[in-house]
Structure 1
């Protein structure tokens, strides 16, 4: 019985730490969307690791962070980033507390519902995104039709 208070204190400490990690990760992910929407280039890219990979909706869009900066720079310089509004987010932190992954549903005026997934790592500077993957979920009833349309765009071998 004398160990129960110690156990409860450790449990509360662990829970509070996990919640603070999840809150910090949530702030990073929300920051990505805020800074993209306001075309804040430096703040946006400060939230990624130097080795980050960004995957866009097109199969050809697999960019290192430097390639992604090159893609984004003209839009951000014009003051027109992109706006995705998060409607649902799930965050998971590894047992050792150094890695996290997430999935989120997003709304975009042009594309409708989108999904973002990815991973983050804890650095000396806080949590940073190491991979972000933006997709457009396709309803199963439309999948064959959409796959056919994509196939029609592929060059013949």
Structure 2
């Protein structure tokens, strides 16, 4: 009687402790959950570096050919352009703080590309969203594209669109803060 019970308990324990089969990347020894955790850690450190105005650490997370897309329609920056913008702010100790609330990370089948979307909180802008793509570059995850947006509730969309159109008519230019 003890033998079948022991076998059942041991088998149950092994089933619970084993990673799910779909977690194993085809042709890879790395479990995607681990890669997702690595991508999430990069994004977390990216936000932390910005919050502390740590210029070198912040920009170490970008791929060589990365693009940063900001909240204004005019804000599409190469890494070099974005570095020039951020340098004077970070040198003055003026970073920006976005606190992740929810993050989703996805991986390509070959495990070399990841994409994400996250909801962030910011003292000035409130709820924001970022999306982006990371690639494996020189053995590390690097941000190839980062896009920051301010989600607009559908009930306010018509008013916001009207305000944007009015600003465009007046010839006002946005961006380049």
1:86 is aligned to 2:100: yes
TM-score, normalised relative to structure 2: 0.80
User: Which of 39, 43, 60 is 2:53 aligned to?
Assistant: 39
Q: Relative to structure 1, is the Cα distance of residues 10 and 37 closer, same or farther in structure 2, using a 3 angstrom cutoff?
A: closer
- Aligned equivalents of 1:92, 1:35: Cα separation in 2: 23
SS in 1 for 2:151: coil
How many residues matched?
150
Match of 1:142 among 156, 162, 166: 156
SS in 1 for 2:24: helix
Matches within 5 A, 1:7-86: 11=21, 14=24, 17-86=31-100
1:154 partner SS:
helix
Match of 2:147 in 1: 133
Deviation at 1:14, TM superposition (A): 1.9
8 Å contact from structure 2 (residues 103, 116) kept in 1? yes
Tell me, yes or no, if structure 1 residue 110 matches structure 2 residue 124.
yes
Structure 1 length as normaliser, TM-score?
Answer: 0.90
Cα deviation, residue 125, structure 1: 3.3
4+ residue segments displaced more than 4 Å? none
1:9: Cα distance to partner? 8.8
Shift of residue 80, structure 1, vs aligned partner: 1.1
Offset of 1:12 from its aligned partner? 8.2
What is the CA-CA distance between 1:122 and the residue it aligns to?
A: 1.1
- Contact kept in structure 1, 2:23 and 2:33, CA below 8 Å: no
Please list the CA deviations of residues 70-105 of structure 1 after superposition, one character each: whole Å capped at 9, or x if unmatched. Answer: 110111001110000000000000001010100000
Q: Find the aligned partners of 1:12 and 1:68 in 2 and give their Cα distance.
A: 39
Structure 2 gaps, min length 5: 1-17, 172-177
Worse-matched range after superposition: 11-20 or 76-85: 11-20
